[in-house]
Chain A
Amino acid sequence: MYSETFIPAVASLGSLALVLGIIILFVSRKFFVAEDPTVSMINALLPGVNCGACSFPSCNQFAEELVRTRNPAMTCPVGGGELASKLGTALGITMAEPKPVTCVVLCQGHNGNARESAQYLGIQDCWAAAQTFAGTKQCRFACIGLGSCIAYCDFNAMRIENGLVVIDRELCTGCGACIPACPYGVLAMQEKKTERYFIACSSHDRGADTRKACDAGCTACQKCVKECPEQAIVIDNFLASIIQEKCTSCGKCIEVCPTKVNCILRVRDLDSVKSKKAS
């Protein structure tokens, strides 16, 4: 007796499914897009985070372009040298090896050592604050710590600690997406070395003004310039900078620096990044 009700139901739904299946089959044949298997193979090798560091909007587009042009100069800064050699073997060419870079913060003025100028109340975004006034800290070159850059980091390598942005050097891949996100320009890319020195300050104020605003600012005191055996440190517009080509990482400058603004950046191998991603 139930058959009267369920047979038509099963039959109608079944035939509907059949018809739709045939349509899908037809469509998939008709609109089939031939995909180069090399592209998908290359794509599988790439990090797959679509960070845009290679100037392509996605990893897939990078793979397509690479397969099409076989241009050995195309590099993925995130993957680094290891990926370059893998890609080279896969395509049978010798890929250029990108210089590993990492992001550094050119400011050390956190809430504890940098003086506050005024309290900011409003849209919690660095750009919104920057168009309202010079910054929450007395130093107008400082990181204001509202963290607009964090949204641009695809690798969770940035966080705000005590009013200052901090970069996790193991997670940073050097894609550079955060650089234009900072209205104050306190982020910069620097080449990775096992041990390197750089000036973690952006203040072009005169020494006295810098010291008034922040305990960790470069006062352009010339001590490191005199100390450096390689003459690798120059002072331009009240701010020291280290010429990386000349620097031998001897560490003498940091010994004499009165505000310890010379910051050492130690970088381990890229392996730590890779192993994290694999897991």
Chain B
Amino acid sequence: MKTFKTGGIHPPEQKLTSGKAVEVMPLPPELAVSMSQHLGKPAKPVVKVGDEVGKGQLIGTADGFISANVHAPTSGKIRAVKPHPHPGGQYSMTVFITPDGLDKWQEGLNTPEIDWKTLSKEEILRRITDAGVVGMGGAGFPSGVKLSPPKDKTIDTVILNGAECEPFLTADHRVMVEEPEAIVKGLEIITHLFQGKARAVIGIESNKPDAVAALKKHAEPKGIEIVTLETKYPQGAEKQLIDAITGRTVNEGELPFDKGCLVHNIGTAVAIFDAVCRNRPLIDRVVTVSGMEIRSARNIRVLVGTKFSEIAAFCGSMTEKTNQVITGGPMMGKAQFSLDVPVTKTTSGILFINNIGLEKSGEKTCIRCSRCISACPQNLQPWLLANTAQLRDFESIELYGMSNCTECGSCSYVCPSKRELVHWIRFAKTLAGKRKQRQSA
């Protein structure tokens, strides 16, 4: 079994919903479609209050190179366009749609499946970009941009990330079990863009044997490798996954394509297949609703823009003990301050938990146990980075490899003194960036 070289931890897996088939959530009374569901600049809204939109109609256009289109998840009327809480913790421009209940597709979209081999490469890329496909693992990097690396870089390995190493999350797992054909076709489209010569690999953690079996059946006849990975966090982090599968190390300041690799999420492959073969924009996704405080944990397919409060109600509501609602996994997710936030293209999970550790929180002093050093998958010294950040010494912290930190949270997880190591590093990254801006200004 393959794995990455340094560090890593084993948090309790808590995959409560791995055996639960994906259910489709009914249409909610209102959808709040955020214009920033991707990395980069938010999309520009192109609809006005009062407009009627069809399902899949473009409502926000990409603004700049790193940005993505946003589409109406259902047919209905635009109620408002205004800033609204975003699962990232901030406010973003949001288009509110009141569904008309017909759920009628706009003309020319959601067509019967065609063979992608009949399309030119430019046409494939155009369809992916137009459909607003972004990385669905969490960061939300626009896929069209990722699939057009600089000309001087050769891609020899395309990796699909089915590790899903975060505790609780099972969305990718269920997609792998239920839609293996779409995943395989999506991966074939990606490799086709690179002359079809690239090695195609799907990496899956060993705790998902049913996903491995399902994909093996469909992928191996097409010459796609399935690699079983050791169950260890952060196996699904891009750099660690490349290390585990190819043995290559992506150094500080490098991107995966510098090492000839391209990593896509499982959900992204399905979205690419939908966009290319069925002309279907990215308007819904599979979300794991889990945690100890939700009465009926399950995997659901929801429209982008569905509010968390609706989802909680659909899943049997949360208990009174809930004190944190988290998007994404418990290791790298974000705590929410409001249940009005909508699902975005990158919401892989919603967790309702009772974080008892918070009550007695408070950082204690470092007792120099060196666990953070052995847990760090990037071979850094988290204690040193955090101490330097606490001193606001943003010059030295660069020299200690701050920008190499992927913020996986392993160090904070193991720290017996409960120090907020990752948060200190994140804090330093923000303020060091500000400082640089001010200096250059």
Task: State the A residues within 8 Å of B (CB).
Answer: 117-118, 121-123, 125, 127-128, 131-134, 140, 180, 205-206
User: Would A118 and B82 count as touching, CB distance under 8 A?
Assistant: no
Chain A residues positioned under 8 Å from B209 (CB to CB):
none
B368 sits at the interface (CB 8 A)? no
Which residue of A122, A127, A128, A134 contacts B91 across the interface (Cβ within 8 Å)? Answer: A134
Min CB distance, A130 to chain B, in Å? Answer: 8
B178 sits at the interface (CB 8 A)? no
User: Would A134 and B85 count as touching, CB distance under 8 A?
Assistant: yes
Given known pairs A117-B338, A133-B89, A134-B89, the reply for A122 and B430 (CB within 8 Å) is: no
Interface range, B side:
20 to 34
User: Would A123 and B424 count as touching, CB distance under 8 A?
Assistant: yes
B90 sits at the interface (CB 8 A)? yes
B431 sits at the interface (CB 8 A)? yes
In the complex, chain B residues 324-349 whose Cβ is within 8 Å of any chain A Cβ: 334-338
Closest A residue to B325 by beta carbon equals A118
Chain A residues positioned under 8 Å from B434 (CB to CB):
180
Given known pairs A134-B90, A134-B91, the reply for A125 and B438 (CB within 8 Å) is: no
Closest A residue to B430 by beta carbon equals A131
C-beta contact mask, B403-441 vs A, less than 8 Å → 1, else 0? 000000000000000001001101100110010001000
Q: A180 CA to B434 CA in the complex, in Å?
A: 10
Q: A125 CA to B434 CA in the complex, in Å?
A: 15
Chain B residues positioned under 8 Å from A122 (CB to CB):
361, 420, 423
Chain A residues positioned under 8 Å from B399 (CB to CB):
none
Q: A205 CA to B424 CA in the complex, in Å?
A: 31
The 7 A-B pairs with the shortest beta carbon distances in the complex, nearest first, are A118-B337, A133-B89, A133-B337, A128-B427, A117-B337, A121-B358, A134-B90
29 contacts between A and B (CB under 8 A): A118-B336, A118-B337, A122-B361, A122-B423, A123-B420, A123-B424, A127-B427, A127-B430, A127-B431, A128-B423, A128-B427, A131-B427, A131-B430, A132-B89, A132-B334, A132-B335, A132-B423, A133-B89, A133-B334, A133-B335, A133-B336, A133-B337, A134-B89, A134-B90, A134-B91, A140-B83, A140-B91, A180-B434, A180-B438
Q: A117-B338, A127-B427, A127-B431 are in contact. List 16 more A-B contacts (CB 8 A).
A: A117-B337, A118-B338, A122-B423, A123-B420, A123-B427, A128-B427, A131-B427, A132-B423, A133-B335, A133-B336, A134-B89, A140-B83, A140-B90, A140-B91, A180-B438, A206-B82
Q: A131 CA to B430 CA in the complex, in Å?
A: 8
Q: A123 CA to B335 CA in the complex, in Å?
A: 14
Chain A residues positioned under 8 Å from B438 (CB to CB):
180
Please report the number of residue pairs spanning A and B whose Cβ atoms sit closer than 8 angstroms.
Answer: 47
Closest A residue to B362 by beta carbon equals A121
User: Would B337 and A134 count as touching, CB distance under 8 A?
Assistant: yes
User: Would B423 and A123 count as touching, CB distance under 8 A?
Assistant: yes
Closest B residue to A141 by beta carbon equals B91
Closest A residue to B90 by beta carbon equals A134
Chain B residues positioned under 8 Å from A134 (CB to CB):
85, 89-91, 337
Q: A117 CA to B334 CA in the complex, in Å?
A: 16
Closest B residue to A125 by beta carbon equals B427
Chain B residues positioned under 8 Å from A118 (CB to CB):
336-338
Min CB distance, B375 to chain A, in Å? Answer: 20
Q: A138 CA to B318 CA in the complex, in Å?
A: 22
Q: A63 CA to B431 CA in the complex, in Å?
A: 31
Min CB distance, A220 to chain B, in Å? Answer: 14
User: Would A131 and B337 count as touching, CB distance under 8 A?
Assistant: no
Q: A127 CA to B90 CA in the complex, in Å?
A: 13
Q: A120 CA to B82 CA in the complex, in Å?
A: 25
Chain A residues positioned under 8 Å from B420 (CB to CB):
122-123
Chain A residues positioned under 8 Å from B361 (CB to CB):
121-122
Chain B residues positioned under 8 Å from A131 (CB to CB):
89, 426-427, 430
Q: A122 CA to B423 CA in the complex, in Å?
A: 8
Q: A123 CA to B427 CA in the complex, in Å?
A: 9
Chain A residues positioned under 8 Å from B358 (CB to CB):
121
Closest A residue to B89 by beta carbon equals A133
Q: A121 CA to B426 CA in the complex, in Å?
A: 16
Q: A121 CA to B90 CA in the complex, in Å?
A: 17
Q: A134 CA to B334 CA in the complex, in Å?
A: 12
Closest A residue to B357 by beta carbon equals A121
C-beta contact mask, B337-373 vs A, less than 8 Å → 1, else 0? 1100000000000000000001001000000000000
Q: A220 CA to B430 CA in the complex, in Å?
A: 33
C-beta contact mask, B290-303 vs A, less than 8 Å → 1, else 0? 00000000000000
Q: A181 CA to B288 CA in the complex, in Å?
A: 39
Q: A127 CA to B426 CA in the complex, in Å?
A: 10
